Structure formats: structure tokens, C-alpha cells
Amino acid sequence: MKKIVSSLIFILFAAGICSAQTVLYFPQFVDGFQPAAGVGWISAIAVTNPAALGTPAASGTITLTSDNGTPLNLALYDDNDQPAGNTFQLAGG
């Protein structure tokens, strides 16, 4: 009986870790240009997958919303200044 309880706890713990899904909310995001002052603002988002090489790819979606809750339609660009979509898959490592 003791092994059954221990096994059940281990399985529940492993299932909780393996199905880790995280939603992150960032309260501030800037994008714009003020021509009169010659000032521009941008935000950078960096996403990594620290899992070991050869592990299955992690996937995600980046969703931006304006202060009133409506979708914020901004073009996203990768580090080579090429257009990038809002969904991604990253291999481990």
C-alpha cells in the first residue's frame, strides 16, 4: 500500500512538471515614434528553450493587446530584421 501511494504521488508530481504551461503577462509594452522630439520606443522579446539538445521543441504564441483589451496589431521581427509570426517552436538548447 505504501508503494502505491508513493507511486501515485510521484506520477502526479511528474505530470505536473511535464505539462508545464506558462502564461506570462507583461504590463508594459512600447512601440512608437514621436517625430517632433525625434524619439522612438521599441520593446524586445527574447524567448529561449533551456531544455537539453534533442528534446522535443517547445511551442508558444505571443499575443499583444492594447490598454483597452483589444488586439494590438504590430509586426514582429526576428534578430535578422525579418518579419516573424506570433507563433513559434524552439528546439532544446
What's residue 20's pLDDT?
A: 60
Query: Domain limits of the chain?
Result: 22-90
Mean pLDDT for back-to-back runs of 10 residues, the chain (93 residues): 56 50 77 87 85 89 87 87 89 86
What's residue 5's pLDDT?
A: 56
Question: Which 3 state secondary structure label does DSSP give 77?
Answer: strand
| HSE-CB of 40 using CA atoms within 13 angstroms | 2
